[in-house]
Structure 1
Amino acid sequence: MSGVQDVTERPGRRAGRPVARAVTEVFAPALLAALMPVVVGLHGTSPVAAGLAWALVGSLFCSVIPNSLIWWGVRRGRLTDHHIGRREQRRRPLTYGLLSVLVGLALMIGFGAPDPVVAMVVVMFALGLAVTVANLAWKLSIHAAVAAGAAAVLVIEFGPALLVSAPVVALVGWSRVRLRDHTVAQVLAGTAVGLLIAVPTFLLLR
């Protein structure tokens, strides 16, 4: 069905799909989950070397381990793609991801990681928990949730100048709708969840 629709699309609309695909990949939740602890660790901790070391630990448990499991599932044929486009396939990978982040948090708290880095990882866990629960009934956009949450943390950490990241959140939402992976409602809901969770969580814990 989607193949027929793509063929009948106007040339201008077809041309937008590679752009949407690029945006979806560049701002994928896995990449943001790996990058944000590093950004916060480098900016909000002293000495910087310690902040970076703990940030890399956060990236390992928030992104590298969970997404290695996802890619393994794709290679084994258990998942259709690395974005897990089918809602019914999401529960197990999301649950494993939450467990990975919990292990990382336990290590970070137990060994005294800097508060800003811990706060960022807690944000990632809270976002993961929210989308996992929502996924039981509805395919909320994880891309939108993580992008909005990351943008909110950037504004808190660096100030109002980072409000320039807001158009990126909108662009990510557009890409998910343009690729027909989500509806507008799912993207808006994901954006709202990202903001409502990231802002109070990071402010409270940093």
Structure 2
Amino acid sequence: MPEQQTNRRGPLTDSALRTKNRTARWLTEVFQPPVVVSVQLLVSPLTEPGFPGTIGYGALAALFVCVLPLVLLLVLVKLGKVTDHHVSDRRQRAPVLLMALASVLAGLLVLDVTGAPRSVVVMVLTIVGGIVVIGAVSPFWKISGHAAAISSSAVITVLMLGPVWLPLLVLIPAVGWSRVVLRAHTAGQVVAGALVGGLVMSGFWWLLQGWLV
């Protein structure tokens, strides 16, 4: 018999449960890491002279950081090598992250050769740092990549563009909630992911920004 979900007022009705799960699924898909990170890369040169003309460098970075790894991941899913595009089985995460890291490093080389703005390079290096941390933890614990991605993007956007963008921080608990509702992660795994993104990755970005830009 399926487990019945409840809230503080008692058991959820079928309609409420469907709405809850549908909302969680929507948040998970719309704010999945490849989408969030792609937007983050596109706006990364925003604070440097030449924007929006330099947005092409952000798109080039997104190609190597998000698009190519996602395409390869979908191929692996199609071949049955990986369970799904969210890589729900943590045992499959390390090889997938290594594949993504290889693509990102290739992208860094291309960005360097093409003379990309330092702000784009800094953002890519920040993502490399996040991949390394999550990759190191994943064999032992299924830390939330969704939480890390949305946290780093939201916090870095606020640091880049100022407090007017503080409302973006609401997305952090919203996306985290969706992952728990869908039982993709525990609350602890979501909080850990948010800390990796909001503190570790954002802190790394802040240091690199001051050093390289």
Q: TM-score surpassing 0.5?
A: yes
Shift of the alpha carbon at 1:162? Answer: 1.3
The match for 1:19 is 23
The match for 2:84 is 81
User: What amino acid does structure 2 have at the position aligned with 1:200?
Assistant: G
Q: In the alignment, does 2:180 pair up with 1:177? A: yes
The match for 2:189 is 186
Which runs of 4 or more aligned residues in structure 1 lie more than 4 Å from their structure 2 counterparts after TM superposition? Answer: 6-9
Distance 2:97 2:173 in 1: 24
Tell which deviates more after alignment, 140-149 or 110-119: 110-119
User: What amino acid does structure 1 have at the position aligned with 2:44?
Assistant: V
User: What amino acid does structure 1 have at the position aligned with 2:185?
Assistant: H
Partner of residue 105 from structure 1, selected from 100, 104, 108 = 108
Distance 2:18 2:52 in 1: 46
User: What amino acid does structure 2 have at the position aligned with 1:59?
Assistant: A
Distance 2:37 2:118 in 1: 17
The match for 1:40 is 44
Partner of residue 55 from structure 1, selected from 54, 58, 73 = 58
SS in 1 for 2:3: helix
Show structure 1 runs of 5+ residues with no match. none
The root-mean-square deviation of aligned C-alpha atoms, in Å, is: 1.8
1:84-121 alpha-carbon deviations (Å, 9 max, x no partner)? 11111111111100111111112212432111111111
TM, length-normalised to structure 1: 0.92
SS in 1 for 2:120: helix
Shift of the alpha carbon at 1:6? Answer: 6.2
Question: Contact (CA 8 Å) 1:152, 1:198: kept in 2 or not?
Answer: no
Partner of residue 128 from structure 1, selected from 126, 131, 140 = 131
Q: In the alignment, does 2:29 pair up with 1:29? A: no
Distance 2:119 2:131 in 1: 18
Aligned length, in residue pairs: 203
Question: Contact (CA 8 Å) 2:5, 2:17: kept in 1 or not?
Answer: no
User: What amino acid does structure 1 have at the position aligned with 2:67?
Assistant: V
Distance 1:37 1:113 in 2: 12
Question: Contact (CA 8 Å) 1:66, 1:96: kept in 2 or not?
Answer: yes
Shift of the alpha carbon at 1:159? Answer: 0.5
The match for 2:12 is 10
User: What amino acid does structure 1 have at the position aligned with 2:176?
Assistant: G
User: What amino acid does structure 2 have at the position aligned with 1:10?
Assistant: L
Structure 1 vs Structure 2: percent identity of aligned residues?
Answer: 33
Distance 1:78 1:7 in 2: 32
1:25-71 alpha-carbon deviations (Å, 9 max, x no partner)? 00000101211111122x22322254211111110011001101110
Distance 2:61 2:133 in 1: 19
**More helix by percentage:** 1
